Amino acid sequence: MEDAQLVSRCLDGDEAAFALLVDQHKLMVYNIVGRMVGRDACDDLAQEAFVQVFRGLHGFRGEAKLSTWVYRITYRVCLERLQRQERSIGQVPLSGGSPDSPQEGPWAAQLAVADPEFKRLEARTDLQRALVTLPAHYRMVLTLFYLQGRRYDEIAQVMEIPLGTVKTYLHRAKARLRECLLDLESEE
Amino acid sequence: MDCQRCQVMLPQYSAGELNPEDAQRLEDHLTECARCRAHRAAEPYLEALLTAIPVYEPPPEFTETVLARIRPQAQHAPDMTRHWISFVAAALSTMVLVVAMQRLIHSLHAATQVAGGNGAGVDLWRISLKLPMPELAHPGMPAMAVVALTIVSLWVAWAALERA
């Protein structure tokens, strides 16, 4: 079913159509939330993202793909949650901060408490731990590029940033990951 | 080409997406720069790790849970027909207001002409409207005021009807 037709049926009150929309995008929405905010927030925030999608359906103009629009809403929902969390914890906000300054999500501290020595980690676990230290917009770019294989221009549409910024974020994100992985290896 | 630019362009180079000129400049830089060569050598390892990140699976009942959350909202969905009726009503009321204002301005202007000259005319405006009126130095000023009044009135009327 085409995007416009699916949205039209959703707006007509066809619950099955909206269920189809959710099924088509829930995996990616779930993983965007998981990478940006944390695994614990997946259920609640992913549901909230789809509620926002439902409320905003009349605003879908068809200028971008439906998936792009859904992921853009998800990204905004995650940023709002991160900003609220950071204000309540009293840390530097994860969105809008300098891309060059290291910023940690709140769950990074929880990981440190759970496993303070970080010994004998597999490479993929090292990468997971390195990922949580990245700014939210870096994690978003990595998730869209590597998890879903999105092109630069599609990522730019989702995140509403210039194409050049996408490339820069991707480059800096991987550079930061390399540094984090080297640091983790040196601690072993 | 500097190292930062080279490293930013490496993914596109590896994917064969660079134009021939940029690709040649990048290759020339790699020939001379050990750091960027090492960066390029590590790239496949990092990319393999990134593509192997575990995927989070939503629970089987996820879709039904979302539907349960939106059902109360779906029952009170916005009525687009009501929005259009509000807009037409606001437009009509604004047109009536604008025509009335234009007639008022026209009659006042005519009255100033009868009074003979801008001095007495301006005084007549002030007396009639009991408002501080600026010198009408620009002949189009009443029309501009009418346009601005139209836009503001339309917005206020539509907003008021939407809230009702």
User: Chain A residues with CB inside 8 Å of B74's CB?
Assistant: 13, 15, 54
- Res B112: pLDDT: 66
Residue A110 has pLDDT above 60, yes or no: no
Q: Which residues numbered 39-78 in B keep a CB inside 8 Å of some CB on A?
A: 42-43, 46-47, 49-59, 62-63, 65-67, 69-71, 73-74, 77-78
Confidence of residue B161 (pLDDT cuts 50, 70, 90): low
What residue in A sits closest to B49 (Cα-Cα)?
A: A124
Confidence of residue A118 (pLDDT cuts 50, 70, 90): very low
Residue B76 per-residue DSSP state: T
Residue A24 has pLDDT above 80, yes or no: yes
- Of A46, A55, A175, nearest to B73 by CB-CB distance is A55
Tell me the range of A56-60, A85-89, B26-30, B127-131 where mean pLDDT is highest: B26-30
- Whole-angstrom distance, CA of residue A123 vs CA of residue A106: 22
User: Chain A residues with CB inside 8 Å of B56's CB?
Assistant: 30-31, 34, 39, 42
ipTM over 0.85: no
Residue A57 has pLDDT above 80, yes or no: yes
What residue in B sits closest to A35 (Cα-Cα)?
A: B56
| Residues contacting residue A110 through CB under 8 Å, at least 6 positions apart | none
Q: What percent of chain A has pLDDT over 90?
A: 39
Burial of A80 (0-12, 13-18, 19+ CB in 10 A): middle
* C-alpha distance from B143 to closest chain A C-alpha (Å): 35
| Average pLDDT score over residue span B39-59 | 81
Higher pLDDT, B119 or A159: A159
- Whole-angstrom distance, CA of residue B55 vs CA of residue A59: 30
| Average pLDDT score over residue span B115-124 | 47
| Average pLDDT score over residue span A134-148 | 89
